[in-house]
Structures are given as structure tokens and as C-alpha cells.
Amino acid sequence: MADSKHFYLRNNQALMSSHRLSLKAKQSILLSKAENTIDAYESDWDDFVDWCTYNKVPYFPATPETIVNYINDLADYAKANTISRRISAISENFNASGTPTNPCMAPIVKQALRGIRRLKGTYQQGKTPILLDDLEDIFEYMDSIAMPEIQKLRDKAILLVGFMGAFRRSEISALTVSDITFSVQGMEIFVASSKADQEGQGAVVAIPFIENREFCAVRALKAWLKGSGIKEGPIFRGFTKNMGIRKSAISDKAIAEIVKKYAEAIGLDPAMYGAHSLRHGFATTAAAYGAEERNIMRQTRHHSVNMVRRYINEANKFVDNPVNTIFKKSR
């Protein structure tokens, strides 16, 4: 039997219910996939379950439309081969469940995959992280051009809160004044619905004051709230043509465009950057500075250590590079 999350690949329900195969034959087929392959499939299935829970849609059974929406969200930051692997894992699990229809086999899903590969070829590389040096360059650019002060306050707060809180773009967009609690240590931000929060209880992200005022997200957010006069409702909002502040929240896509705009302004390829670059950048930077896995996971709210280890490996790819080892010993 599968557990409540409906993962069937460890005990293939369709296979085990067959009356034409002997028990020995069934067991040999179950053993045809290596244990680490099953583990990888389970991790991919868990990500799909988390996404569905976060978006309040059923994951078992799932509709083809749910699969399409999932892979399009995934395309914001994942490599193309990661998306294909996730679909394979989800499809294999539905096959193993014995359900009569597999949503991954629907034509609309195959069309969506083709469209993603065609339109988002840059996702082969994933979204490049925004690092501290990049933020410094962006802030210098902001100070060097004629920009309305109110826009500068908002954009700087978005970039620093997004980075220091390791937020997803939807979480930045959804923040309201009531979600923020300031204290002498810094601020706590309540995330009403976290992707990794299957029970829907929400999560609290702490961001401390730091001595470097330029990079202090707490000061940046306070400056934006004071300058905008926002006392309730959405924190980050768009502007009218006359730079008045709208009542509605800025969209998550607009946040991605802000990141792209500033990336391009400092000479980076905007196609390689998006809102996820802030979250990715925080995790990579924290790993590079030697932060412990569990502390990074607490801030990013990843429930899988595998993703955090990927950031650590990415941060260390030059530090621990064997080329350095060779030439240090040869001197």
C-alpha cells in the first residue's frame, strides 16, 4: 500500500494486482529499478505534491491542466531536463497506481512541454543567482540615474527582502503589512502559505538588522513603508502614470521583471535572471559563507536537503576545484 501521499512506485499497485504474473515475476519486475532511482522519483513526486498543496489543487487524481500549470511554474527556475524528469516521475507513479487515466499522457501536457522548450531555452541553465556584488552594482546604478525616490525605495525593499528572506516571487507579491512584526532584533515575516508547508499552517521567516545599512532589508522595508505611507494591505504595489501608489499588490510577474530590468542595467543577460534569482542567490551566498545546511533550510524553507546541497556544491565549485589542488601542490 502507498502512504497518504499516494506514492506507488515502491509497491506497484497495477503490477501486484495482475493475475497473469507469478509472485516471483512481480518481485523481479519491482527490482528492475534501482533503489536510488525510486528515491529520485519519490523526491520528484514530493515536489509535485507540495506544489499542489500550496496551490490548493488535488494531486491524486490530478488533471492534465494541473500538470501543465505545475511545469510552467517549474520553468521559472528549473532546467529543461529537470522538468522532463519530473514529468517522467509523475507519469510513472500514475502508471504504478493502477488508475485508468494518466494525466501526463494528455496532448495538452506534451504541447506545453514543447512550448516550454521552444520559448524558454535559457532554462536549460536554470535561473542565475543574484549575488551580493550584483546587488551592490544595482544599488550604485539606482543612485546614478534620475529615478523617482519612491520607486527606488520600493525596488530596493523588494530586492533586499526577497534576497534576505529567500522568498519565492508569489510570496513577495502576497506580503501584507499584517504579516510583518518588527522588533529590536529585526523583523519576522509570516508567510501565510508556504510551498513546503503541506498542512497549511504557514511559516515565519526572521530577518535581522545588520550593520551594513546598504544591505539591511529591515531598514529598506521600513523606509519603503514610511515613504509610501502604507499602513495596511499589500506591502509591494505598482505605480500609476503619475507615480501614485496603487491599492492592489504588485504581481509576481512584475517582481520578476524588476529583477530582469536591474540585471540588464548592470550588464547581465536578463534572460538568465528572474525573481527566483534572489532566492537562489541567498542560498548560494549563505553556502559560500559557510552557513550550516539546517540554517539555510530554515531560511529557505526547503524540506529537502538535496536542493540545499546543490546550492552548497554550486558555491564551492571554484573553492574546492581540483585544479586549485593540482597547482598548489606543484608550486
pLDDT digits (tens, 9 = 90+) for 264-299: 999 988 888 988 899 989 988 888 787 888 888 888
What percentage of the chain exceeds 70 in pLDDT?
Answer: 76
pLDDT for the residue numbered 22: 60
CB 223 within 8 A of CB 149: no
DSSP string, 200-251: ---EEEEEE--S-GGG-HHHHHHHHHHHHT--SSBSSEEE-TTSPEEEEEPP
Residue 279 known to be catalytic:
yes
The packing angle between helices 132-144 and 252-265, to 10°, is 80
State which amino acid sits at residue 314: E
Catalytic annotation, pick one of 169, 279, 280, 301: 279
What percentage of the chain exceeds 90 in pLDDT?
Answer: 38
Band (pLDDT 50/70/90 cuts) for residue 17 is: low
- Residues pairing with 208 in the sheet: 186
State which amino acid sits at residue 129: P
pLDDT digits (tens, 9 = 90+) for 146-204: 999 999 999 999 999 999 999 988 899 999 999 999 999 999 999 876 555 545 567 89
Band (pLDDT 50/70/90 cuts) for residue 1 is: very low
Going from the C-alpha of 238 to that of each of 173, 233, 241, the distances in angstroms are: 11, 13, 10
Pick from 14, 210, 330, 161: nearest CA to 322: 330
Going from the C-alpha of 162 to that of each of 10, 166, 216, 303, the distances in angstroms are: 38, 6, 12, 19
Would the pLDDT of 305 be above 80?
A: no
Q: Which of 20-29, 76-85, 113-122, 307-316 has the lowest mean pLDDT?
A: 20-29
Q: Which domains does the chain have, with CATH numbers?
A: 13-125 (1.10.150.130), 132-315 (1.10.443.10)
Query: In whole numbers, what is the pLDDT of the chain averaged over residues?
Result: 82
Catalytic annotation, pick one of 168, 260, 280, 301: 168
pLDDT digits (tens, 9 = 90+) for 90-144: 888 888 877 888 999 888 988 888 787 766 554 345 578 898 889 999 999 999 9
Q: Tell how strand 203-208 and strand 186-191 pair up.
A: antiparallel
H helix runs in the chain, sequence order: 13-16, 23-30, 35-54, 64-74, 80-97, 107-119, 132-144, 149-164, 169-174, 217-228, 252-265, 276-288, 293-300, 305-315, 322-330
Residue 165 in grid coordinates:
528572506
Catalytic annotation, pick one of 86, 154, 195, 280: 195
Residue 168 known to be catalytic:
yes
Residue 276 known to be catalytic:
yes
State which amino acid sits at residue 155: D
Catalytic annotation, pick one of 154, 276, 280, 301: 276
Band (pLDDT 50/70/90 cuts) for residue 42 is: confident
User: Distance between CA 28 and CA 310 in Å, rounded?
Assistant: 33
pLDDT for the residue numbered 271: 86
User: Distance between CA 191 and CA 204 in Å, rounded?
Assistant: 6
User: Distance between CA 62 and CA 289 in Å, rounded?
Assistant: 41
